[in-house]
Structure 1
Amino acid sequence: MAIPSGINIPCGFDSIDEYVVVLKQMYKEFAYLPAMHIVDFLVEDHWSELPQDWQEYFDSSAFDIESLIPMASQGQVPADSPESLSGFVRQMFGLRFPRDKIDTGASDDKVAVGDIQKYFLNGMKPKKQAEVIDLAHLVSQVARETGTELVVDVGAGQGYLSRVVAYSAAGSRASVLAVDFAQGQKRGAETFQKRLIKQLRGKKAQTDGYRWQEGDEQRLVHCVVKVGMDSTGELVQMARDQAGGRKWMLCGLHACGDLSSAILKAFVESDASAVALVPCCYNFISENCGDMSGFPLSTAFAGVEIGMNALKTACQATVRWEGKPSETMESFKRNYFRALLHYFMILKGQLSKHDRFPTVGGVTNTELAEAVEREQMQDMAEGIDKEFALYVYAALRKMQSSWHPSLGECLECRRSMEHGFRQMAVVWTLRSIVGPLIEGMLVVDRAMYLAQHCSSISAFALFDPVTSPRNVGAGRAPLNDALDVPEARRLKCEKTFEALCFPVCDWLMLNLNKINRHFAISRNIFPPLQPADTHIHFAGQYY
């Protein structure tokens, strides 16, 4: 099945420029929400920053806290909510990228999928298995169509994607250079590779139809290289040396933070033929670092600063909330307890408002159970709400704090701030609703940056959004011989970028060589351009 062409943007926008303007305007208006830090929520009284009519509505007895879940997941707002709140939710959902998964044919070849499942997926969770199968299929498809003979897998980790691309019967027969910064990851990947090669050379694999060829073990090479915004040169040189004059492409599955931006920069500044990228961990994207910043990459968002708290908000996956309501409510409670502990520590003089937040991380059920044992709370009378007290004792232990408040103090603190739970859940939800808008800015920024160096852009969802909230992918078609590309621009225009740069399952792809003018429900955003200029297609229907 052919790789889709065109970027899906919400309906109602006639140009990418219009969409960018609205994204920036809406973020400026509601930036105070994702800028809030949950830890000091109670100390700084962030609740008071909400519009007065929102506060009154959420504080009323008629409000049902469980209605926050469909509000965040589906944009469903109770009928009695203020019009300004309903308008906010409508606007935020109206700016989201379409997220329906596009079938690229990865599951069509049952024999190939069976081969991968039988030999290549050991050690992977179901989520990872699905992602590796889909991305490996796409990378192999792009490699075949472009004549690419070397795939450079950046941030390869344990080599799951690398092995499927290099050795699977469904692969393109391209060789793979697996790159990671950690020596331990390289050793682990090489161990997995040896085990796999032994299996594929065995009689069972031969009976299953796998045909091992002499020298196949050399198709996958691992190396340790540091890749960052200021250090892409070594990666590019190593790739060129390994390619030895052959075409090569870049790929990455869940390239964390600035690594995604660095991969795009390496692609733009090199002779790589294509790139397939799945970014993640927006909160590790750098800002205010000049040319070394992970955001913004394009001039379209010059001067825009998102901030660490807001970048974390962009990682939220509200699409999962509705399927796991009890887990969502528990998450609300844990966030509330963390904020309440911070308030408690400042109230009792254990911290000042200016101190750095002590790191707690997640408090597990095992740690809570251990707190019960340590504090001898097993036989406590029924009816006493000891949840917060247990959290306090477990969290203080993780913080290595010597402070040990009494049970009575813990109970009194929670009683005095009981209203904080509902308020925390509300603000967490409102912040999360803004998250996709922030993702949209990151996606469009990367698209506009790449559009300066490529001739066509596309975007589609590769993974299921519930299973894989962070997904990005790429593909490429052969050079269109009808394009009269000046020699001076030959390097740039013989590239293809296909990368799903939208962590919540929207593939952003730049197809430099094939301008598809017949994509269904597509609409040209930029005015007519000469073949060597940037040409962008946007397509899609918002649901």
Structure 2
Amino acid sequence: MSVELLAAQDAEMFTTSLSSEEQRELARKLTTVLSQYRHFSDSYIIEFFTEDLWHTLPSTWQPVLQDLSYPQIADLLLDAAHGDRRYPTVWPLSLLAFRATAHALAFSRGCRRERGRVAGSVKPKEFQENQSQSSLLGHIFRKHVKPKKQHEILKLGRLVKKLCDQTDCNRVVDVGSGQGHLTRFLSFGLGLSVTAIEADPTLLAMASKFDRQLLWALEKEKQKKDFESPSQHQLKESEEQSSAESCCPCIKPVCQEGNHTKENSLRGYPDFVLTGLHACGDLSATLLRHFVSCPHVRGITSVACCYMKITTEENPTPPGLVEPPTPLTLGHESVPSEFGYPMSSWVRGLSEHQLSYKAREGACHAVEDYIRRLREESELLRIHCYRAMLENFIRDTRPDLRRAGIQTIKKAHLLPFTEYARMGLARVGLPPELPLDPERVESMLRQQGRVVVYFSLALLLAPVVETLVLLDRIIYLQENGVDSQLVALFDPNFSPRNFVLMALKPCEQGGQSPR
């Protein structure tokens, strides 16, 4: 059974399948379009006033966009599925082409079954009876788990189980396992043998605590119903001295004396399926490289997030790190450090493939959530305008202070701007009582609609950027002889990073070790 057929078995999934030629042609189109509209994806909305972003728009666009209502912005610009487009004025062809191209090039994010939900409902149908508890997940797997995560572990867990069934492999390695919610469901809910790898000691401690609670609950259940737990749950910390070597030495280096070959050093280890639920930044790329390089990894499901933390040639060090990433270690072989984007030779060879930090950060935004805010005309929409106004006043006093980080101000959208500014100025070390020209404040507040329009134009490109990042990974796998499938597995209204990249190695590439 092919990976495409496996995905098609689930009616809730939307699958995207392209030939290798179509993949490459789409990548070329994506890089060309993103290069042409780079001024949108690379712009910072907090600089709307300081950089006069509105007047960087084509002069023919400005009059038709400036008077749009918030629901019109949602319907006419952002919602690709909206069919009833009634334009208040005649739009220039260049604007229509921009919108149509962005929608046409991006992978569809919709889930078939979830499209039929009740109007106005945000959560999937499994939460209709109880807004905080999935009706499809057992109660022991819902404890300490937020609804979004319940939705994700249920759907991804079932997909991982299908991969295991198809490969006749019941072992799974869950990398970046966090508090272990997916691990517990795979192990105790679906009967798989799971090794969890997590680098954060705090998350690891919480996972161990929740494991003990689940085992206690299962023991009580056993006493009542003579219940027997289906498998043992292994939890391992991903540090230099602690690894998943018991599952496969490809995960961490194996130190052995003598001149053993790589094949000999790997002999006797069991095959397994690799999974990562919202593996941050370069971790998703690293897992794909392990999948390709290690003969014992039979299949993979990869859900990416935090694209802005991906390393690139232009930004080789992710935010928060002083040194570039260390080389990967696969068995005995040390592989030179490689960037998280691009992974494929094809995309790397395209002259306009570069994606800035801002473009990748924008690709993490929740388009569906913003559409909902626009249609509800939410007061939250004024936050972008507030922050852009504050940036203007900050630079009046400190021209060298650009894009200063301001921690979230609680319920800022409910505050008058003067109060918001007082709190924001204090957080960047400026006098809270800095005088603000009332006429200037009022003039900028009147431009809130323009701020929202410009942000929406940039947001229109967010799915296009995400498509390029994920397509690059699909092409990378194809270059290494592995077909893959991209599945919109989660409800995008509920889980914005809803794509799962899954792949199975051909039988001749898999390991021959016992289960």
CA contact (8 A) 1:145 1:478 kept: no
Amino acid aligned to 2:26? Y
Question: Counterparts of 1:114 and 1:63 in 2: how far apart (Å)?
Answer: 41
| Residue matched to 1:100 | 110
| Residue matched to 2:289 | 265
Instruction: State which of 309, 312, 318 in structure 2 corresponds to 1:287.
Output: 312
Question: Counterparts of 1:258 and 1:460 in 2: how far apart (Å)?
Answer: 20
| Residue matched to 1:319 | 368
Question: Counterparts of 1:315 and 1:114 in 2: how far apart (Å)?
Answer: 28
| Residue matched to 1:29 | 36
User: 1:449-489 CA distances to partner (integer Å, 9 max, x unpaired)?
Assistant: 11122342222221111111112335567966xxxx5xxxx
Q: Secondary structure at the match of 1:323?
A: helix
| Residue matched to 2:55 | 48
| Residue matched to 1:211 | 228
CA contact (8 A) 1:4 1:458 kept: no
Question: Counterparts of 2:357 and 2:466 in 1: how far apart (Å)?
Answer: 13
Q: Secondary structure at the match of 2:111?
A: coil
CA contact (8 A) 1:388 1:410 kept: no
Question: Once the 2 structures are TM-superposed, how far is the Cα of residue 9 of structure 1 from its aligned partner?
Answer: 6.1
Question: Counterparts of 2:449 and 2:88 in 1: how far apart (Å)?
Answer: 19
| Residue matched to 1:503 | none
Question: Counterparts of 1:182 and 1:242 in 2: how far apart (Å)?
Answer: 28
Distance 1:479 1:405, change over 3 A: closer
Question: Once the 2 structures are TM-superposed, how far is the Cα of residue 359 of structure 1 from its aligned partner?
Answer: 0.9
Amino acid aligned to 2:276? G
TM-score where L is the length of structure 1: 0.73
Distance 1:242 1:328, change over 3 A: farther
Amino acid aligned to 2:238? V
Question: Once the 2 structures are TM-superposed, how far is the Cα of residue 48 of structure 1 from its aligned partner?
Answer: 1.9
Q: Secondary structure at the match of 1:417?
A: helix
| Residue matched to 2:465 | 438
CA contact (8 A) 1:253 1:278 kept: yes
Question: Counterparts of 1:451 and 1:194 in 2: how far apart (Å)?
Answer: 42
TM-score where L is the length of structure 2: 0.77
Instruction: State which of 339, 342, 356 in structure 2 corresponds to 1:296.
Output: 342
| Residue matched to 1:516 | none
User: 1:258-306 CA distances to partner (integer Å, 9 max, x unpaired)?
Assistant: 1111111221221211111111111211211395211111122215211
Question: Counterparts of 1:93 and 1:368 in 2: how far apart (Å)?
Answer: 30
| Residue matched to 1:537 | none
CA contact (8 A) 1:10 1:97 kept: no
5 Å matches for 1:348-497? 349=397, 351-352=398-399, 354-365=400-411, 387-406=416-435, 409=436, 411-473=438-500, 490=509
Question: Once the 2 structures are TM-superposed, how far is the Cα of residue 250 of structure 1 from its aligned partner?
Answer: 1.2
User: 1:319-354 CA distances to partner (integer Å, 9 max, x unpaired)?
Assistant: 23343337764343111111110101222x2x11x4
Any stretches of 5+ residues in structure 2 without a counterpart?
115-125, 127-133, 242-247, 255-261, 317-335
Distance 1:392 1:226, change over 3 A: farther
User: 1:414-440 CA distances to partner (integer Å, 9 max, x unpaired)?
Assistant: 123244322211110000001111111
Question: Counterparts of 1:99 and 1:55 in 2: how far apart (Å)?
Answer: 29
**Cα RMSD after superposing both structures:** 3.4
User: 1:514-535 CA distances to partner (integer Å, 9 max, x unpaired)?
Assistant: xxxxxxxxxxxxxxxxxxxxxx
Distance 1:205 1:30, change over 3 A: farther
Question: Once the 2 structures are TM-superposed, how far is the Cα of residue 410 of structure 1 from its aligned partner?
Answer: 5.3
CA contact (8 A) 1:7 1:457 kept: no
Distance 1:243 1:392, change over 3 A: farther
Question: Once the 2 structures are TM-superposed, how far is the Cα of residue 7 of structure 1 from its aligned partner?
Answer: 5.4
Any stretches of 5+ residues in structure 1 without a counterpart?
108-112, 370-385, 496-543
Question: Counterparts of 1:322 and 1:209 in 2: how far apart (Å)?
Answer: 50
How many matched pairs?
442
Question: Once the 2 structures are TM-superposed, how far is the Cα of residue 236 of structure 1 from its aligned partner?
Answer: 4.1
